[in-house]
Chains A and B, each alone.
Chain A
Amino acid sequence: MRPLELRDVTFTYADSSRRALDGISLDIEKGEFVTLLGENGAGKSTVCMLSNGLVPHAIKGQLGGSAKVFGYEVSEHSVAEFATRVGIVFQEPESQLFCMSVEEEVAFGPENLAVPRDEIRERVEWALGLVGMKGYNDRSPFSLSGGEKQRVAIAAALSMRPEMLVLDEPAYALDPVGRTDLYRVLRDLRDKHGMAVLLAERDAEEVAGFSDRIVLMNSGKVVGSGTPREMLRDPDRLKELGIIAPQMSELSMLLNRRLGRSEFSFYSVEEAERAISPLVSSRKPGGLR
């Protein structure tokens, strides 16, 4: 059963007339790391909250089409039922941690599921280890940095042992160090644990490195789906869609234009170095401009 299968899904929030999701079809396969890119209002959050039933059970509105999570129709099962298979991390670091200590926070989910105490302890240590927060058990969430808070939020979702992890703009409020640490955790999750991951982002910089697939969204629809290389090669298109383009994509495009060529398409600094060195290697150091 696919972690996520959306077919022509439509959704309108209760207090709005605009369709947040306008006939969207999207699949996520087992173990796939999919990054959803789109501008504010494109519908990314709605898709995220659909993945564990918050839409439509906790967030009222009109849901149409078929939305299946691990084979179960979302509208027909409660959020609690999906909680064991889908974990979710929101963008606000502060408000999604509501317990008085890190340990309680990570244990909260399994406690609600009446998991035996010894197993809870194991899961807490395992989850904290995965996010690099071992030893933080007794710290209060208020005392943590933004990046640390988000990692605790991930651990709190992981302790329920989900098969899919959904993250709605987790790096939103983080500084560069927090963001790097967060993405490293996501990269590890992908490389070592074969969990399906759905990541929603506005900024395409960095996500190329660990996404299996990139899906472009606009106005509640999917407007592109493919490998990172395919989806990120056209920075103008990304800008039109309100997505912040990776600098390497912009560089490739500008270089192609300036030289009247079309083969440049790098999306990492290493690739760019390899491609550009031949162009400038005939220069003397400190040479002409």
Chain B
Amino acid sequence: MTGFVDLYTESNTFLHRMDPRVKILAVLFLSVLALMIGNLEYLLILLVAILLMLVLGRATLAKTYFAMKLVLRVMILIVVLWPFFNPVGSPVLFEYWIIKITEPGIVTGIEVAVRIACLASVWYILMFTTTQRDLVRALVKLGLRFDYGLTLSISLRFLPTFGSMVDSIRDAQRARGMEFDRGSLVRRSKNYVAVLVPTVVSALRTADTISLALQSRAYGARKDRTYLRALRMRPTDYVALTIAVLAVALPAVAKYVLQIEL
């Protein structure tokens, strides 16, 4: 459970160095772009471009595989099932009783799958090349209230801690003869109380200490607050931002103003 919670991969590519705010915005823009495009060929080009960036961000094969496992499963499911539920247009390739499969149906299914791949990959680029710390910092700079940013960062910080605590609690109860993978559903739910109660109690105790520590370090003492790590935009960041804006603005103009099919 404590495995790949933090997807960040240490490296020094241009993506790693890019201002996290620009990355977040770029990812949002690219997501919008993926949703705007309807044509399969253009979608595939977008996907290739995104995968290229993943490579440039030096994502390791292991992490990529782990991250994409779920996405791949969803994609396969869609490609296989979509035609059954969307038998529109012609030519009809197969028809029997209530099952009807058309070529456009298959193509649309593939389009949707590729679109999902684009969306997922683009967010993974963000996760692989940005530390959790920078992510939260960027969100706060982009307008998220500091309190919420702190809540987010504390939650992320304690995920591995709680993960290993739950593991420890499960072990402790297993050593008392409790079995999690056997018995009726009723029995198993009762067993989970033996894990839930200690977890909740320990979590509350931890939260208590965190609260005392926060207060002892003058949290909330003043309305203003300084930050040790500054986020400063550099020329390359502005260039990247411009490219990202254009990447979504130009197609948007093409599609909605000039009525060009995308």
Contact = CB atoms under 8 A, between A and B. Distances in A.
B161 A90 contact: no
B127 to A, nearest CB: 15
Interface string A98-135: 11110110011111111111001100100000000000
A255 to B, nearest CB: 43
B123 to A, nearest CB: 20
Given A117-B228, A120-B228, A54 B216 contact: yes
A107 B228 contact: yes
Interface stretch (B52-60, B102-110, B205-213): B205-213
A156 interface: yes
B153 A100 contact: yes
A139 to B, nearest CB: 12
Interface stretch (B23-31, B176-184, B219-227, B248-256): B219-227
A96 interface: yes
Nearest to B158: A98
Interface residues of A, number: 44
Interface stretch (A14-22, A79-87, A190-198, A204-212): A79-87
A99 B153 contact: yes
Contacts of A103: 228
A100 B228 contact: no
> Which of B161, B222, B228 neighbours the largest number of chain A CB atoms within 10 Å of its CB?
B228
B213 A109 contact: no
Given A101-B133, A111-B225, A115-B226, A83 B157 contact: no
A105 to B, nearest CB: 9
A201 B131 CA distance: 39
B139 to A, nearest CB: 14
B197 to A, nearest CB: 19
B132 A83 contact: no
Interface of A: 49, 52, 54, 57-59, 79-80, 83-84, 87-88, 90, 92, 94-101, 103-104, 107-117, 120-121, 124, 140-142, 156-157, 160
**Complex A-B, nearest 8 residue pairs according to Cβ-Cβ distance, in ascending order:** A80-B221, A83-B218, A95-B209, A109-B217, A107-B228, A96-B213, A95-B206, A112-B218
30 contacts: A58-B212, A59-B212, A80-B218, A80-B221, A83-B217, A83-B218, A83-B221, A90-B209, A95-B210, A96-B210, A96-B212, A98-B157, A98-B214, A100-B131, A100-B136, A103-B228, A104-B228, A104-B229, A108-B219, A112-B217, A112-B218, A112-B221, A113-B222, A116-B226, A117-B227, A117-B228, A120-B228, A141-B157, A156-B217, A157-B216
